[in-house]
Structure 1
């Protein structure tokens, strides 16, 4: 037992001022030994932990007797918010059958006792220990060809779509021989959209620039993704991305800092003038693919999103730069979408909209497709967004977003630092998120979570499909020249719960007409936050228990 748990034990021993709430009988240990009980609401079983190491036993508030210790040895804390923390103390002499008495503690004592429990019991752990920790170095391919061998011309004017298609078709034959590499030397290689193949490395040499054609006829029209039903910009189809992978495995896009330039200005102008019939294309998109690596590449002027892995698993994005002008519409950076086991690290992203944004489908289509984004690790990134957020979740999150670790973030010169966005009709959830070690500078709104992001693919959405937003932790954050510290606006029928704020300091660009924190339909817990947050996130409440456990446990305890 550590010093903190021992101190809690000492503070509660011998307390006689706590009124008896309910008695239960149990043939337990010896007389006079004090134990801690966590009793969950709604008649749920929870652990009873002896702080001095005696067997774990447990029960619930309404039961007539406790379960035997051997039945509860591996029982985790109930998957509901803990409502009561009780003291258990033997009161009958040894000459009679031992019995136990439950007595209710006040809530502040309860939180301290929960701290003791989190140290004494095998905890429920935050599952994301860091996807980026498990990445492995790239192995060289045994076969390699140059795009020059297929008639490509790097003058910036000759269209090379067929050359890329033919080269990749040829390299497909090496899939069962360890795969192959397509080498793109220095030059300006104009192309329309093309598809990759499995077990392929696309390598861009320093000085190599793959240019997206500005002729719409060089981009195939495809239908919307099944988890979206419609495109988010324009209803209907969309232009296929410049570089595509569908149902692939083991694909690498890398180089010696080569460049992929979407030449997006023509697309942005057409979008602003409402002249487009279909949604703008992305630069790189992988669909239903596994074991994907994108590294050491610069992305410029994407017509829409830069990197979009959707329905993918095992995705690594590292050491990339993505840049689009501040006024470019919907030019998001990296967009993991209904994907799992994703690492994003050591990158610099400066775009017109969200720099990194996690998604998982739109309204009834995302609910039906039911594929979440989960187990994502983001670290050591510099993010800037002119009209969006540095890091965002949603608003298309109907398949769910969970188990996200984002750490060592540098957010600057942005409209919003970190944002969660959803609305009625989305369903789904955003939960179990840890955002820590963040530096912000020159940001209008440091943290925002809103349930009023009302955009829908059609009129078929169910307004009663309410999203769940819970257990989102913001920890160790410093911000300078911030206009508004935080805005939390939940949904009345589905408030945002367990919003945890710890060790946060914002230097506010003071305006007497503004408030540092704005909150509605939200609850949580906070410690060491400046300026002082809303009462909803700074007072003791049932919702704050999960935050308290999470913030004070060495093992990042979470009630999942």
Structure 2
């Protein structure tokens, strides 16, 4: 080996580790939170009035608003102002370096005329799909914003179906008389005959080489648009505005970087199918703070693509801060999944209040998704009147269970196996839920290494762990109506229960099931208060429940 070759080899060996390290994801913590770059704008201001817009609620202002935005961008950017008034419009396309600012009392109302919305290639639950053009959209932009104190209304009721049972009698009568058609049995209202036909036939909206965009014209009315879709944009700010009444998801930033959503209000009816509040998908460096959500589906939701398509994209949602938010109605306060095939990591959730949501902290996936969800941290979360579980993990999302033990079949772990691991939740308080904590992993891939400490959970039932490993509870108070058992362990291992308080009249503290339930440590907990400390069944062995340091 020549000296020159030795020298080059040494240089290469020295530089490669540094290059690899530079490209890796930084390790964040509460003391070292991600930094999110903010957009900045020139002070130049343009009013949409200067381009012929009229606030009479009748004039279609699509051209005037889009021309104002384009002119502002071409001049180097600035602020496009929407003054107070009722502005009817079709789809709006944002441009780089423009802040679309809605003054107080400005109502941007999107037209119910669906012919104004072009059929476009979009994304549905992480996959390429035919959609109607979103009311507000932008692609490959930089330095953009929607700010102010006005309202953006997607006129979503003209787009979506609704079941009779979701409305009051008077609401149902009003819906029927508004037009549309009914399902043959009279239980569902559809916006149109085309919508009804497609819905009852369960036709797919996904694009493929065999199904190009042009083949979806006969189901256009069924393809509900998300209200705000921003794709591959950098330095994005949504601040102060109320976004409401979306046909499908309300806000959908996709593959964006440096995203801030601040002091935004998001409203959708409780019956709004897919009426999510915010779906942050495959985004890097984001901040959601001071927002209020009252929606028909998941409130603040983390996604990163679905199944093989999401894994090929390979863009995790990462480096996020979610703080000081309030959620009223919603299927979950903070949600990860189920389309998380690209993964999610380093997300910090704090000082949030959930009142009346179906679930609190919600994590969901299923076999075939793949993806790794890790380094999720939540603290100072306060919940009231949760419909289901305060803390919820389920890797059997939308799976119907057989009653003959089929769930225990263990397929080979592969790229389609979802992984949820390495998280910490602290200072969690819940007043009212069906269950305090529910974790259900897969037999072949347990939910792993979750630490929960300093929690007070008042619920019908306490804790249920199925196919979980490395779960640690410290300083947890369980106030439960059902005390048989307070804690259920099913085929779960390496568990620690340290300083647990529970109802002193509990009839059964632990129910342990399954031969894979092993190494269950109970520390600093007075197990003698319960009438029965533990029961074992389905192959579980008493020796695997280890009681130590009993007070």
Shift in Å at residue 371 of structure 1? 0.7
What does residue 416 of structure 1 align with? 359
Structure 1: which 5+ runs fail to align? 1-74, 76-123, 231-235, 456-461, 546-560
Answer yes or no: is 1:517 the counterpart of 2:446: no
Shift in Å at residue 312 of structure 1? 0.5
Shift in Å at residue 380 of structure 1? 0.1
Answer yes or no: is 1:157 the counterpart of 2:45: no
Answer yes or no: is 1:443 the counterpart of 2:415: no
Shift in Å at residue 404 of structure 1? 0.5
In 2: Cα distance, 1:544 partner to 1:346 partner:
40
Alignment partner of 1:267 out of 127, 147, 159: 159
Shift in Å at residue 127 of structure 1? 4.3
In 2: Cα distance, 1:544 partner to 1:372 partner:
33
Shift in Å at residue 344 of structure 1? 0.2
| Residues 102-141 of structure 1 mapped to structure 2, 5 A cutoff | 126-127=28-29, 129=31, 139=40, 141=42
| Residues 6-21 of structure 1 mapped to structure 2, 5 A cutoff | none
Shift in Å at residue 164 of structure 1? 1.5
| Residues 200-215 of structure 1 mapped to structure 2, 5 A cutoff | 200-215=98-113
Q: Is the 8 A contact 1:525 1:544 kept in 2?
A: no
State the TM-score, normalized to the length of structure 1: 0.67
| Residues 144-183 of structure 1 mapped to structure 2, 5 A cutoff | 144-175=45-76, 179-183=77-81
Answer yes or no: is 1:393 the counterpart of 2:336: yes
The change in CA–CA distance for 1:272 and 1:393 in structure 2 (over 3 A counts) is farther
What does residue 538 of structure 1 align with? 496
In 2: Cα distance, 1:145 partner to 1:325 partner:
34
Shift in Å at residue 481 of structure 1? 1.7
Q: Secondary structure at the match of 2:70?
A: helix
Answer yes or no: is 1:354 the counterpart of 2:274: no
The change in CA–CA distance for 1:130 and 1:264 in structure 2 (over 3 A counts) is farther
Alignment partner of 2:476 out of 521, 525, 529: 529
The change in CA–CA distance for 1:342 and 1:134 in structure 2 (over 3 A counts) is closer
The change in CA–CA distance for 1:134 and 1:372 in structure 2 (over 3 A counts) is closer
Deviates more, 1:494-503 or 1:402-411: 494-503
In 2: Cα distance, 1:295 partner to 1:334 partner:
13
Aligned-CA RMSD value: 2.7
In 1: Cα distance, 2:309 partner to 2:475 partner:
41
Answer yes or no: is 1:503 the counterpart of 2:454: yes
The change in CA–CA distance for 1:132 and 1:430 in structure 2 (over 3 A counts) is closer
Q: Is the 8 A contact 1:128 1:377 kept in 2?
A: no
- How many residues are aligned here? 401
Q: Is the 8 A contact 2:36 2:286 kept in 1?
A: no
Q: Deviations over 1:381-414 (max 9, x none)?
A: 001234x111100100000111110000100111
| Residues 483-502 of structure 1 mapped to structure 2, 5 A cutoff | 483-502=434-453
Shift in Å at residue 465 of structure 1? 1.1
What does residue 92 of structure 1 align with? none
In 2: Cα distance, 1:419 partner to 1:226 partner:
21
Shift in Å at residue 375 of structure 1? 0.3
Q: Secondary structure at the match of 1:335?
A: strand
In 1: Cα distance, 2:416 partner to 2:315 partner:
16
Q: Is the 8 A contact 1:475 1:503 kept in 2?
A: yes
Answer yes or no: is 1:466 the counterpart of 2:417: yes
What does residue 246 of structure 1 align with? 139
Shift in Å at residue 516 of structure 1? 2.4
Q: Secondary structure at the match of 1:153?
A: coil
In 1: Cα distance, 2:141 partner to 2:41 partner:
19
In 2: Cα distance, 1:385 partner to 1:132 partner:
29
Shift in Å at residue 171 of structure 1? 1.5
In 2: Cα distance, 1:466 partner to 1:217 partner:
42
What does residue 95 of structure 2 align with? 197
Q: Is the 8 A contact 2:262 2:289 kept in 1?
A: yes
In 2: Cα distance, 1:543 partner to 1:226 partner:
43
Q: Is the 8 A contact 2:40 2:143 kept in 1?
A: no
Q: Is the 8 A contact 1:227 1:366 kept in 2?
A: no
Q: Secondary structure at the match of 1:167?
A: helix
Structure 2: which 5+ runs fail to align? 1-16, 18-25, 163-187, 199-218, 400-412, 479-485, 499-516, 522-551
Shift in Å at residue 224 of structure 1? 3.3
